[in-house]
A = this chain, B = another copy of it.
Amino acid sequence: MILIDYKDRRPIYEQVIEKLQQMILCGALEPHSPMPSVRNLAMELSLNPNTIQRAYQVLEHTGYIYTIKGKGSFVSELSAAADNKRREIEGELQKSIDKAMLSGITADELRQMVERCITASERKKL
Contact surface of A with B, Cβ cutoff 8 Å: 18, 21-22, 25-27, 82, 85-86, 89-90, 92-94, 96-105, 107, 109-111, 113-114, 116-118, 120-122, 124-125
| Interface pairs (23), CB distance under 8 Å | A22-B102, A22-B103, A25-B102, A25-B103, A27-B104, A82-B103, A85-B103, A86-B105, A86-B113, A89-B100, A89-B103, A92-B96, A93-B113, A94-B120, A94-B121, A96-B96, A97-B114, A97-B118, A98-B121, A101-B118, A107-B122, A110-B114, A111-B118
Contact status of A122 and B105, CB under 8 A, knowing A113-B89, A114-B93: no
Looking at A18, A27, A103, the one whose CB has the most chain B CB atoms below 10 A away is A103
Nearest CB of chain B from residue A88's CB, rounded to whole Å: 9
With A and B bound together, what is the CA distance between A122 and B107 in angstroms?
9
The residues of B that contact A120 with a CB separation of less than 8 Å are 94
Contact status of A89 and B102, CB under 8 A, knowing A94-B120, A110-B118: no
Whether A116 pairs with B102 at a CB distance below 8 angstroms is: no
With A and B bound together, what is the CA distance between A82 and B125 in angstroms?
31
